[in-house]
Amino acid sequence: MQTTAPTVQFDDRIMRLIGIPLVGFLMPLLFFGTTLEKGLVAYLPMWISSTAHTLVYWEGSRLVYLQTRRWFPAVSQTTQRLLWLTGLSLLFAMLFSMVVCYGLNDLLKLAFPGFIHHKPGLLEEYKATLIPLVICLAVYECIYYFRQLRAALLEAEQLKQANLQSQLETLKNQVNPHFLFNSLNTLTALIPEDPELSVRFVQKLAKVYRYILEIRELQTVSLADELSALRAYNFLMQIRFGDRLTIQLDLPDDCLMARVVPLSLQMLVENAVKHNVISTHKPLFIQVFIENNRLIVRNNLQRKSQTSVDELEESTGVGLQNIRSRYQLLAGQRVDVIVTTQQFAVSLPLLAATEQPAIAQ
């Protein structure tokens, strides 16, 4: 729960500067039977009195509105917030009518003797307080929801663009001459030696591409689906690199229904393979595990080129930045990159499980 007081999310100073005197001008005419027959000068004391009352209940209702938003800031808490807002507003209107208003009336009567003759009853004053208070709160709520809707539409559009960019980037990275060349070279060498294993290689290669096509419309996938695709990709890499590459998956079953960004694991494994030396004397070891409710992909660091640590993170390119952007848009959560002289790790947040169809295995 947020600890700092929220703002109304827009500059309401002009609205208050104009609205309070305007409501103060109209209140006596609408509720207390006052007229303008004697002119504006004769009406001025009543206007000042009404404006003073309006100032109190306007600012009071504004504080009630802000406080309830502070207690219940999430969209999922809207019902609770509105119930509290209604209850506190009614209580404030009652207290204002019974205590503050009458004290203020007496002070104004002393300040303008002979001008203010009408002292409303409790029910009349309660009605005169409650109706403008409800209008005031309705204005703030409408503006707040309008801005929330506009922000949600903008965020949805940004997510859509990021998703499209991710699809194009993923397809470009996967269906590229290097990936196909390496896979086909491996398959060509494998067919004479082990035809049965060659068939499995083709099946796993097809599964990788099928997964890419199946997730192109999804914003998130289950960790179980992502791991299934990663295992197929791992099979291809094991045939290509053998004992020089090890990908260790250490994930408990109770985390498999959590959601992740599609192809995030495969992109991170690809980055590790792309940017590190893989040889008999320098095998690459990649770990995928859960720590503090986050998904970690970590590898030993043995860079192909003599780049700096900062350049290494930058060299991971569009893929990692795209993962970061999508997590930020989807859940407002960060993707951490931890680089040391010996290891490179990426920490992904696990998103809450949602009702989305699983991908066919």
pLDDT at 357: 45
Alpha-carbon gap, residue 8 to 12, rounded angstroms: 8
Q: Can you give the pLDDT at residue 167?
A: 61
DSSP annotation of 6: P
Q: Which residue has the higher pLDDT, 7 or 255?
A: 255
Domain boundaries, the chain: 13-151, 175-349
Report the alpha-carbon distance of residue 92 to residue 139 in Å, rounded: 18
At 128, which amino acid appears? A
Cα 361 to Cα 69: distance, rounded to the nearest angstrom = 45
Residues of the chain above pLDDT 70, percent: 75
How do residues 96-142 score in pLDDT, each as one tens digit? 666 555 555 555 555 555 545 455 555 555 666 666 777 777 777 77
Vertex 195, ends 194 and 196: CA angle to 5°? 90
| 6-10 mean pLDDT | 54
Question: Is there a contact between 253 and 223 (Cβ–Cβ < 8 Å)?
Answer: no
Lowest-confidence range among 130-144, 219-233, 306-320? 306-320
Which amino acid, 360?
A
Q: Hey, CA dihedral for 134, 136, 140, 142, is it positive or negative? A: positive
3 state SS of 303: strand
Q: Which fold has domain 175-349?
A: Heat Shock Protein 90 (3.30.565)
Integer Cα distance of 115 and 47 in angstroms: 11
Q: Scanning the structure block, which residue is given the tokens 């599964």?
A: 207
pLDDT higher at 206 or 360: 206
Most confident of the ranges 9-18, 176-185, 187-196, 292-301: 292-301
Quote the pLDDT of residue 1. Answer: 39
- How many CB atoms lie under 10 A from the CB of residue 237? 21
Task: Count CB atoms within 10 A of the CB of residue 206.
Answer: 11
CA distance 179 to 353: 32
* pLDDT at residue 310 tops 50: no
**Structure tokens given for 182:** 């390496």
R_g of the chain computed on alpha carbons: 33
Residue 108 or 199, more confident? 199
* Alpha helices (H) along the chain: 13-31, 40-71, 78-95, 101-111, 122-174, 177-193, 195-214, 223-241, 264-275, 309-315, 317-331
Exposed/middle/buried for residue 254 (C-beta within 10 Å: 0-12, 13-18, 19+):
exposed
Provide the token pair at 159. Answer: 């997510």
Q: Evaluate if pTM is beyond 0.75.
A: no
Instruction: Give per-residue burial for 125-143: e unless 16+ CB within 10 Å, then b.
Output: bbebbbebbeebbeebeee
pLDDT in tens, 205-221: 889 888 888 887 788 89
| Long-range contacts (CB closer than 8 Å, 24 or more residues apart) made by 78-85 | 85/137
Distance CA 223, CA 229 (A): 10
Q: Give which of 183, 192, 251 is closest to 222, Cα–Cα.
A: 251
Q: Is the pLDDT of residue 273 over 60?
A: yes
